């Protein structure tokens, strides 16, 4: 039976978004199995391109931190990466002068006051020569506006307000009087499989959606007080007690964390089998939290595109192998 005839084995994955904020997206993936769910998770972490500081030239560093330590911290600062799709990977650069692979960034701060000064992501200077990449900047970036050697407090505008409301800049190091830091950096496009600094997410996890069934006959043998204690035995609001019907009902099955507390309570009360909890093998609850480099919905969409490209490449390779086997007369 061909796919056109409606092969019952053909799966049709589906995604339903449950919740989405500025930094997090929660969605349900159905109609597939663990192989695709885990492939999507791995692509989200390791295959979605972002931009991060890759090269650091140290001109002056009289702080108490060594050069390598500061360079590592600079690389881990998430940069807004909306332009990553328009940039080339350094290892794919073909020598085209019109193709930009490097975005220069500078860090020049000198402490001239008696107070310890914080050097933050707001002190990074974005080179204005590459105006088409002026959006490549640290997340929640708000330039401090102080000149080299200015005693103005770092990491905040002159009016004392915080960047993006209550969101603070990222601390890089601290300087005492007469200490200075002067570095030239290069930000480049990359992916998480090369280094964690290019990962677009702080976390990308999934879990199976639980299927919960209550044994009504066994539940009826419990007293009202025992039913309430059973509901409270779960640390999450999986169940609720209905005062009108005097029955225990499934409230929020998706909140179950497979902790097994309610099952343990039922066994301790001599009521094994009071509830049956099984994982749906074709339904996955995803939680993806962005670092701020890309919006969470963009991360998921880009990951799906990357996964689709990989599947198409795999299919093409298999078609070539099959064609060669047919030509050779191999069964």
pLDDT recorded at residue 99: 61
The larger pLDDT score, comparing residue 55 to residue 87, is at 55
In this prediction, residue 67 carries a pLDDT of 96
Q: Across residues 71-89, what is the average pLDDT?
A: 92
Distance CA 117, CA 113 (A): 8
Mean pLDDT, to the nearest integer, of 22-37? 94
Q: In the prediction, which pLDDT does 178 show?
A: 94
In this predicted structure, the answer to whether residue 275 has a pLDDT above a threshold of 50 is yes
How does DSSP classify residue 86? G
- Residue 277's DSSP bridge partners are 212
Mean pLDDT of the chain: 87
Give 131's contacts (C-beta < 8 A, 6+ positions apart): none
* Residue, of 324 and 270, whose pLDDT is higher: 270
Strands 24-30 and 275-290: antiparallel
What's residue 158's pLDDT? 40
What are the angstrom distances between the C-alpha of 240 and each of 108, 173, 250?
59, 50, 6
Q: What is the tens place of the pLDDT at every residue in 202-235?
A: 999 999 999 999 999 999 999 999 999 999 999 9
Q: Look at the block and give the residue holding tokens 């701060």.
A: 109
Model confidence at 162, in pLDDT bands (50, 70, 90)?
A: very low
pLDDT at 276: 94
Q: What is the mean pLDDT of residues 35-58?
A: 96
pLDDT at residue 126 in the model: 76
> Rg of the chain's alpha carbons, rounded to an integer?
27
Q: Which residue is listed with tokens 């019952």?
A: 8
Contact present, 101 and 88 (Cβ < 8 Å): yes
The upper half-sphere exposure of residue 129, i.e. CA atoms within 13 Å in the direction of its Cβ, equals 7
Q: How many CB atoms lie within 10 A of CB 222?
A: 17
Distance CA 325, CA 43 (A): 31
Share of the chain above pLDDT 70, in %: 85
**Domains by residue range for the chain, with CATH:** 11-48+200-212+279-331 (3.30.1360.10), 50-192 (2.170.120.12), 216-273 (3.30.70)
Confidence of residue 321 (pLDDT cuts 50, 70, 90): confident
Task: With a cut of 70, say whether residue 163 has pLDDT above it.
Answer: no
How would you class 289 by CB atoms within 10 Å of its CB: exposed for 0-12, middle for 13-18, buried for 19 or more? middle
Query: Residue 306 has what pLDDT?
Result: 95
- For residue 79, the cross-strand partners are 138
pLDDT of residue 88: 86
Of the candidates 185, 38, 175, the residue with the CA atom closest to the CA atom of residue 109: 175
In the prediction, which pLDDT does 3 show?
46
Coil, strand or helix at 64? coil
**pLDDT value, residue 319:** 87
Sheet with strand 50-61: strands edge to edge: 50-61, 180-190, 103-110, 124-126
Q: Report residue 142's pLDDT band, with 50, 70 and 90 as the boundaries.
A: confident
Residue 30 has pLDDT above 90, yes or no: yes
Mean pLDDT of all residues in 287-305: 96
Partners of 62 in the β-ladder = none
Coil, strand, or helix at residue 186? strand
d(CA 43, CA 305): 10
**How confident is the model over 181-191, as a mean pLDDT?**
94
Residue ranges in 183-295 assigned as alpha helix (H) = 216-219, 224-233, 261-268
97 has pLDDT over 70: no
């Amino acid at each position: 039976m061909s796919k056109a005839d409606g092969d019952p084995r053909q799966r049709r994955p589906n995604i339903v978004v449950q919740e989405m904020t500025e930094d997090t997206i929660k969605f349900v993936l159905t109609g597939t199995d663990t192989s695709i769910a885990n492939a999507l998770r791995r692509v989200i972490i390791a295959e979605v391109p972002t931009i991060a500081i890759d090269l650091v030239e140290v001109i002056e560093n009289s702080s108490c931190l060594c050069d390598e330590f500061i360079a590592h911290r600079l690389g881990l600062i998430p940069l807004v990466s909306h332009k990553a799709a328009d940039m080339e990977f350094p290892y794919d650069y073909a020598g085209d002068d019109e193709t930009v692979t490097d975005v220069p960034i500078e860090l020049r701060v000198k402490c001239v006051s008696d107070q310890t000064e914080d050097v933050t992501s707001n002190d990074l200077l974005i080179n204005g020569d590459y105006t088409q990449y002026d959006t490549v900047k640290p997340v929640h970036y708000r330039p401090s506006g102080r000149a080299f050697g200015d005693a103005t407090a770092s990491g905040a505008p002159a009016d004392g307000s915080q960047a993006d409301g209550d969101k603070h800049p990222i601390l890089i190091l601290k300087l005492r009087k007469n200490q200075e830091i002067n570095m030239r950096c290069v930000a480049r496009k990359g992916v998480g499989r090369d280094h964690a600094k290019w990962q677009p997410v702080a976390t990308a996890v999934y879990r199976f959606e639980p299927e919960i069934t209550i044994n009504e006959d066994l539940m009826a043998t419990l007293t009202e007080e025992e039913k309430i204690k059973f509901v409270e035995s779960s640390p999450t609001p999986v169940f609720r007690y209905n005062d009108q019907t005097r029955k225990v009902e499934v409230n929020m099955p998706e909140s179950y964390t497979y902790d097994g507390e309610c099952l343990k309570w039922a066994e301790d009360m001599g009521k094994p089998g009071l509830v049956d909890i099984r994982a749906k093998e074709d339904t996955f609850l995803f939680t993806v939290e962005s670092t701020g480099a890309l919006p969470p919905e963009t991360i998921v969409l880009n990951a799906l595109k990357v996964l689709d490209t990989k599947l198409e490449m795999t299919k093409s390779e298999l078609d070539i192998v099959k064609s060669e086997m047919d030509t050779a007369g191999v069964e």
